[in-house]
């Protein structure tokens, strides 16, 4: 039995969703973020030294890092579904988006979260904190988020899903940065294909089943 170590409001929602798409049985071990710091509880470090979510256990295997988990699950349980065949152009696009999600899309979105919080620093230092945050946001963070969104919008003009005509685990992996961008990165109707992508994934029965099993899923602002 696969166990998903599932932190509320986190990337592990993607793992539940992929497992629902695959129709593979799994159990959820829930963890709650600290209400103040939003960090994962220390128990998660007993499962994996970094204590981040997601982590899965499958038999003797413990695996962290959402992209690695999705690739592993699709390859092991997909029987050719949800991952394009090796050696095809679609497979290379699949690999690209698998890496892009955490390697390129998430870093500026995480910086946005951090600098927005910095602006709420204690009153005494707030003016300085705001000046630093606004400078970083304006010169680096926001332009990078916008470039990324424009780029993905353009890529979705080429095919219905990110790796090609077929829905794949790469779409699941990319859902998190796009959902985060919708909440805090300026993703709106200016990007009609991205909004349509979000609508399409949100209406998939497997996505809805994963939400039901995983519980509340509200991304941090
Ligand atoms: N690149 C990693 C990121 C893992 C990560 O940062 N997870 C967040 C949840 S979305 C987390 O565990 N945050 C709580 C913490 O850092 O304590 C992945 O894709 O799995």
Give per-residue pLDDT as tens, 90-128. 999 999 999 999 999 999 999 999 999 999 999 999 999
Distance 53 CA to ligand 1 centre (A): 5
pLDDT at residue 216, as a whole number: 82
- 219: pLDDT strictly greater than 90: no
Does residue 53 contact residue 7 with C-beta atoms inside 8 Å? yes
| Closest atom of ligand 1 relative to the 101 alpha carbon | 19
The string of pLDDT tens digits covering residues 139-179 is: 999 999 999 999 999 999 999 999 999 999 999 999 999 99
Distance between CA atoms of 115 and 35, rounded to whole angstroms? 19
Query: Which helix (H) or strand (E) segment is 203 a member of?
Result: none
Q: Which residue has the tokens 């602006």?
A: 119
5 lines ligand 1 (CB under 6 A): no
């Amino acid at each position: 039995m696969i166990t998903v170590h599932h932190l509320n409001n986190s990337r592990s929602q993607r793992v539940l969703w992929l497992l629902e798409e695959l129709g593979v049985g799994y159990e959820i071990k829930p963890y709650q973020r600290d209400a103040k710091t939003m960090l994962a509880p220390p128990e998660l470090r007993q499962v994996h030294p970094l204590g981040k979510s997601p982590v899965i256990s499958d038999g003797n295997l413990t695996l962290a890092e959402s992209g690695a988990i999705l690739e592993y699950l699709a390859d092991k349980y997909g029987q050719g579904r949800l991952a394009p065949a090796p050696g095809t152009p679609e497979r290379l696009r699949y690999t690209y988006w698998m890496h892009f999600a955490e390697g390129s899309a998430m870093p500026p979105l995480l910086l946005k979260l951090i600098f927005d919080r910095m602006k709420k620093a204690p009153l005494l230092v707030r003016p300085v904190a705001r000046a630093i945050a606004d400078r970083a946001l304006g010169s680096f963070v926001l332009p990078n988020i916008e470039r990324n969104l424009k780029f993905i919008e353009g890529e979705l003009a080429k095919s219905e899903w990110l790796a090609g005509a077929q829905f794949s685990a790469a779409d699941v992996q990319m859902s998190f940065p796009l959902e985060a961008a919708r909440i805090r990165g300026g993703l709106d109707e200016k990007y009609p294909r991205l909004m349509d992508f979000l609508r399409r994934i949100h209406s998939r029965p497997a996505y809805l089943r994963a939400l039901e099993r995983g519980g509340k899923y509200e991304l941090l602002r």
